[in-house]
Structure 1
């Protein structure tokens, strides 16, 4: 949790200074720069974390079947791959737009 909040501070500082720093959130899979999208990613990661930490009913992975846990893992991997695909398509679209000028 402390790490997420420190990342938010760094992203906000970078946005304030208008620095163009490579994000590396997903390693070399994307070429994103730190920006508002990075801030949104971190906030979207913090929301479920806070829910799990402060929910009255503690969410235990052992209470779920192996199949449900597997589905959750595949769903997260699928969402990550969809994000990479959309990001790559946007970059490709921007490159085509720039080359047509």
Structure 2
């Protein structure tokens, strides 16, 4: 049962992140530049990364490709963690763009911690309890989808409130 929530939360995160990056493409391209991506690769990665997030977010909820999606998401999160680790090691703090402009924050240790949690979630699906969405009754799936969306919204709002409070106290 937990696996359906994890699946929907991860799918929602990837889809929301993708759409946000497409909408704020210039900001995402700026982040790519700041983390050291070569100029001739920025434009293509500015489209490729959000497209990949969108496709993988959908793969997580499409039964025939769900397992492929889970493995690909694990690899994507590991790649993101490697990029963030490199930025932290080099003491760079570009905008994270993890949710595009929805959640403005700097790339850093907190980003890395969040990625470790996401990697743990996808590993749970791969190792412990994988479930396909087509085995869940429709009404239950709708409830769980809305609950999962609620988790994402609560996380975004809480992060924004905390950031605003910290900015207000230090400003």
Give the alignment's TM-score, normalised by structure 1.
0.83
Instruction: Answer 1 or 2: which has greater helix percent.
Output: 2
Report the CA distance shift for 1:80/1:58 in structure 2 as closer, same or farther (over 3 A): closer
Identify the residue that residue 15 of structure 1 maps to in structure 2: 88
2:98 aligned to 3, 18, 25, which one? 25
5 Å-filtered alignment, 1:14-93, equals 14-55=87-128, 58-93=130-165
Runs (4+) off by over 2 Å: none
Whole-angstrom CA distance in 2 between matches of 1:48 and 1:31: 23
| Structure 2 unaligned regions, length at least 5 | 1-73
Larger RCO, structure (CA 8 Å, separation 6 or more): 2
Deviations 1:9-67 (A, max 9, x none): 11111111110111111111111111122112212222221122223x64111111112
Aligned pair count reads 98
Shift of 1:96: 2.2
Q: Which runs of 5+ in 1 are unaligned?
A: none
Shift of 1:71: 2.0
**Residue of structure 1 aligned with 2:168, choices 90, 96, 99:** 96
Report SS of the residue matched to 1:30: coil
How far apart are residue 87 of structure 1 and its match?
A: 1.5
Larger radius of gyration: 1
Task: For residue 4 of structure 1, report the CA deviation from its aligned partner.
Answer: 1.1
RMSD (Å), alpha carbons: 1.6
Greater shift in the superposed pair: 42-51 or 6-15: 42-51
**Alpha-carbon offset, residue 73 of structure 1:** 1.5
